[in-house]
Amino acid sequence: MRPFKRKSDCPIHFAIERFGDAWTLLIIRDLMFFGRSTYGEFLYAGEGIATNILADRLERLEVGGIVSKGPDPERPSRSRYALTQQGIDLLPIMLDMIAWSGEYDPGTAVPPQFVERLKTDRVAVEAEIRERLVSSGQFLIAPDAP
């Protein structure tokens, strides 16, 4: 696995090391907004991530405490990944990024209504999604509270 580096104790730098990588952010997006949670679902998500990269990023996310991994209750041979509390706490950042791109990317895929709702009703939108993420906890294999 590509190791974590600590060039400084700057919080921005820490965040970058933990999740500030293109593929990593796309995986978090898949977990957070598209309900994807298996290797295959990430693999065929559209941007075309390579298997070695996917494995590397999943491991990094797990080691970093953002994602937990465990056997699928229904099919134990298959693994399922889920956001931990720490991962769910990335929601504000993701929503900010969506809002920003919704504002400045002419070709964005974000529906105008959602961009609008994000501006006028941000708190509710966030609470709503957070609630959904928390309550889908059946896949939260390794909860943060020990």
Q: Which residues bind DNA (CB under 7 A)?
A: 2, 21-23, 38-41, 43, 48-53, 55, 58-59, 69, 77-79
- At residue 100's C-alpha, the angle toward residues 63 and 13, to 5°, is 35
CA distances from 10 to 6, 14, 47, 63 (A): 9, 6, 31, 20
Q: Using DSSP, state whether 145 is helix, strand or coil.
A: coil
Q: Out of a second copy, DNA, none, which partner does residue 119 contact, by CB within 5 to 8 A per kind?
A: none
Closest approach, Cβ 31 to DNA, in A, equals 13
48 part of the interface to a second copy, by CB under 8 A: yes
Residue nearer to a second copy on the CB measure, 29 or 72:
29
The alpha-carbon radius of gyration of the chain (Å, integer) is 16
Residue 121's φ and ψ, nearest 5 degrees, are -135, 35
Residue nearer to a second copy on the CB measure, 72 or 110:
110
Residue nearer to DNA on the CB measure, 59 or 126:
59
